[in-house]
Structure 1
Amino acid sequence: MIQVESKDLARFLEEKKSGFFYFYTPLCGSCQLARQMIELAEKSSDLPIYALDLNLSKEFAPLFKIEAVPVLVRIDSGEFSEKTYTLDNIVAVFRFLKKFT
């Protein structure tokens, strides 16, 4: 998982790239579990997943309609595509990632 900042996501969107962004907050317990599940799933794929602290990137919450953390967001060609809050098991995470490969 690649830790990024708001400016990196802004550039990613501007350049119309595609990828996955994991939004979390540092003190969120379920975010820690979700990170472990995402990292396990990431090892079995070639997809880079970017991590972003939502506390430091609040401007993106309305853009991606983020209602809670943890959340995994798919961006296609610089546009919001889909998101999932079901990150508590490896199977759910893997299925979400595989939908786009």
Structure 2
Amino acid sequence: MKHTEILNDIYKHFDKDLHLLFGYTPTCGTCKISERMLDIANEVTQLPINKCDLNFYPEFCKDFEILSVPVLFIMNQDKVVHRIYAFQSVPYLVENIQKVIDDKNLS
């Protein structure tokens, strides 16, 4: 994980129809493993992704009611469509992301 945070970068893709927001903290070992799994899963789904150290965004964490890290938000602009805390496996991530993509394409 490269650690270069720019405040308000957390909102970088909020103008896009579908995008991913991965929240982590740098000292979290599970976050590091989850990020690798997410990178592999997103090679399939190819959505814009933003990765943010949530230590720098306490208000965002409060507003979006983040309970723990890692967290993955599958988002439609600034709305959370699906939230994942337990990443389980790469196929699980692909399945959940793809379901949101398919649902979006059907509407």
Q: Which bin holds the TM-score, normalised by the shorter protein?
A: 0.7 to 0.9
Describe the SS at the equivalent of 1:33. Answer: helix
The residue number in structure 2 matching 1:44 is 44
Moved segments of 4+, more than 6 Å: none
Alpha-carbon deviation of 1:16?
6.5
Q: CA RMSD in A?
A: 2.2
Paired residues, number: 99
The structure with the largest alpha-carbon Rg is 2
Structure 2 runs not aligned, ≥5 long: 102-107
The residue number in structure 2 matching 1:93 is 93
Structure 1 pair 77–33 and aligned structure 2 pair: CA distance change class (3 A): same
Deviation string, structure 1 residues 65-87 (Cα, Å, up to 9, x no partner): 21000010122132222201121
The residue number in structure 1 matching 2:33 is 33
Normalising by structure 1, we get a TM-score of: 0.82
Alpha-carbon deviation of 1:34?
0.1
Q: Report if aligned partners of 1:86, 1:93 keep a CA contact under 8 Å in 2.
A: no
Q: Report if aligned partners of 1:37, 1:88 keep a CA contact under 8 Å in 2.
A: no
The 5 A counterparts of 1:1-101 are: 5-10=6-11, 12-13=13-14, 15=15, 17-101=17-101
Q: Report if aligned partners of 2:25, 2:69 keep a CA contact under 8 Å in 1.
A: yes
Identity of aligned residues (%): 27
Describe the SS at the equivalent of 2:69. Answer: coil
Q: Report if aligned partners of 1:5, 1:52 keep a CA contact under 8 Å in 2.
A: no
Describe the SS at the equivalent of 1:100. Answer: helix
Distance 2:62 2:81 in 1: 14
Q: Report if aligned partners of 2:13, 2:50 keep a CA contact under 8 Å in 1.
A: no
